[in-house]
Structure 1
Amino acid sequence: MDTSPNSHPRSRIASHWPRWAAILLLATGAGGALGANQALDAIIAVVNDDVVVQSELEKEIDLVIPQMNQRGTPVPPRSQLEKQVLDRLILKRLQQQRAKDLGITVDDAALTEALTNIAGRNGLSLDELKATLEAGGIRFEDFREDTRSQILTSRLQSQEVVKKIQVTDPEIDRFLAKESSRLIEREQVRLQHILIALPENATPDQIKAAEDKAKRLVVKLRGGADFAETAVRESDGRNALEGGDLGWFEMGAVPSLAADLAYSLAEGEISDPIGNSSGFHIIRMSEIKAATPKEVTQTRARHILVRTNEIVSDDDARRRLSQLRERIVGGDDFATLARANSDDTGSALKGGELGWVGPGDTVGDFEEAMNALPVNGVSEPFKSPFGWHIVKVEERRSQNSSEDVLRIKAREALQRRKGEEATEEWLRQLRDEAYVEVRLDQES
């Protein structure tokens, strides 16, 4: 399996930001729910050789409910909510155990950096973040450890799942043939519209009849019926006689009803019915006008990877790479040393060669270290989710053709899609292979 960094998507730590945002919302607007709970220590689940206690469940529920309220998601009955949250806690505990077995940790420096970034996104200093949380009744230490857990999970999933994901050129070709219009940066969109109108004070039966009609039309349209002809015959909208054509919109001027669809629909794609007080709307993405593609910087690089394990510690890996770097700076050939020393077997056979690497082709730690180097520069040893590296920059080039930009975006999209699917399967296997005894019903 090729585990070279250019086959890995970026770190998924950023994907946890909505959770952190909701925690901050809780602190600033929802009062001190966390601080109000009494410690409840009844064991509600056994997870391998560890346990989950009632107080953990209560604390997690206090975080989940504000998130659901923020999204407008109805809060289920208490018993159902407890089961859902407990399942999340069990998966969290299993991942913590797996990370411990693999020697994956989050040191205080990385944690402080993450907390500082969270504070910065909210326009706060780290001290102000702490004060804001504690004013809302949330202990900063609880928030700090929750953040550590999120980073740990991200690193674990990167090592266990993401590093195994590869995206081939034929996959990119197939993706672009079907979905290229989803990836381009949109400047303007041209929309078509069908409205199945509702009378004022519509009855439930009238609402259902209109919705059913809209759903039938969507089936016909997706089956090949001409949208313009259907709009002339069926639409109650003002633009029905123009085939439902709403014309061109700058992205910032798209009506709110279709604002999200303007960014997500592919060219020619038809939306599901969208209901509001006027009736049920069907939107078709007629055309997309792309913005001028931005210039992309690509780097041709080599690297040497040393993985840590129960025998090779972080200090061992760093020291070994420091010695190799001294030899390279002293004149030894990077490629020769990579063949003899790199644990990345895929690139080691090519002298550590990674080829041309673009934005998002590597995890964040690797990309940051590589981008900081001049051409012919050799990095100091640094750590990523896959181990310790040194990297040498061979060349740089700027690419600004729309095809190159689209291929980069397609690779990122496929990596994310495969990553989500693979992570779900990995979590299922992790749970299936574990000993889990749930005692929630008998304790509650």
Structure 2
Amino acid sequence: MGDGGRSGTPVRDLCGRRFAYELPCEAGTALAYTPRLLRDRGPSRSRTCRVGAGRRAMSRRPRAPRSSGGPSLKLPSTLVLVLALAAVPPAIAQAPAPTAKPAAPPPAPSQRLDGIAAVVNNEAVLQSDVEEQLYLFLMRSQTQVDSATVDTLRTQILNQLIDEKLILAEAQRLGITVSDAEVNRQAQEALADTKSRFDTPAAYQDQLRKENMNEEQLLEKLRGEARRQALVSRLMNKQVPHRTLGQLEAETYFKIHKDKFPHAPAELRLSVIQIPAQPESLADAKAKARAVAIRARIVSGEKFAKVAAEASDDETSARSGGDLGYLVRGSMDPAFEKAVFTRKLNTVDAPVRTIYGWHVIEVLDRDTLKTKAGRDTLGQDKQPLLEAHVRHVLVRVPLTDADVERTRKLAESVRAQAVAGKPFAELAKQYNRYAGPHSDDGDIGFLPLTSLQANIRSGLDTVQVGGVSQVLVNQAGFNIFRVTERKADREYALDEIKGELPQVVSEMIFREKLDEWVKGLRAKAHIQINKS
């Protein structure tokens, strides 16, 4: 099994928080689609979100995740961005996640066969366009989904592309135009941003060659997308103007239309014993020595980016000189996060050990996450969200089949003791290595079912209150749960979502009006969808 399925990708912990790297997992349990290093690389300082009317704009937003071959030059569709960047806050937009086996992502664009997915009046929507947008959407969202959800997304994206053609045709019919100067300005900004995603000009040129284009061809594609975005935005603003509701109006809407709002998800109160697979001490010592040597190279004057590219076991960030972008506090492994938010800027101190390996870390900047208006973004505790620009070199500690099998047997033994009646709290104090917030007896409090990974949720479905689960394997290791309480899903109380209502209700009303307008465009058009 080699490294035990370990990779440099992020996972959520059991509470739904994002940790920066994937933990060891059992052979055969790795997901068919493994996301890149960071689900959300953190808001980028270099871009402003310029999506259509009514969508949230932040002064910094995540960069699109890099594919295995480095940053792609391919462009997401204007309306697919609507789907990807919907502004309904997560607190009241928690649709249950699928429990089926995760599906492999659609093949990369270069691997796809073409065909006609739909005809809109006299224009074709190519199957390759649908698959490319699906691919980009999954890479942007870094979401693990099952095959049924992939099919649903594919249908939604096809409909988005059909709608885009209808809106562009309507803009042309109404004589809406955008100046070449504006298009060129936006295209040049997009080109500069695209180049900034690459470590070096040579890497950018290499990607151009891989995608069989030169810079002028890329710029022409960017001009086309900029023109489409501007036309769609102008027409949408004209036909479906967006208005932000006041607090009283939003609350009134909520009281009248509660059926339009999702329920608060069902919750479980859980205790956990998490036992990650651990390598032998000799392997750990060798990895630490390698990390110390890597730090010595950097401290002695070698460029961090060069060393990361040559030495890091995190292949994804290695391509960007170890750069992880801006990471928000609460999204990292605790040991890694402590170093990120306590060390001096632009220094490379001693390597940090996490469950994922040894890290040589440099913090380049720290700040509070800002809104477009320049105000601090607040977390659930109403305190400003902190973020840090980080780069690292990862030295993994190899796991063997024997390491994993030894841990499995230990987990099964611990579960057997719990089932036989030994107090779960005692076992947790002895064996639990869960890195997230928890009490000494393993209690991690109430968790929404929707925040749990699919296989964990499925494994807990039939566990009665007071019962102990089977050993459930995820990227963090081997987990034994005790269910102490269950709460059914319910309607949200006004006080729970009061602060979010103006934004959410404004978005809901905007989308209802947009859907109705687009439905009218569809009614006047000839649309033929080819079923594959």
Is TM > 0.5 for Structure 1 vs Structure 2? no
Q: TM-score, normalised by structure 1?
A: 0.39
Determine which structure has more spread, i.e. the larger CA radius of gyration: 1
Which protein has greater RCO, CA pairs closer than 8 Å, 6+ apart?
Answer: 2
Question: Which structure features the higher share of helix residues?
Answer: 1
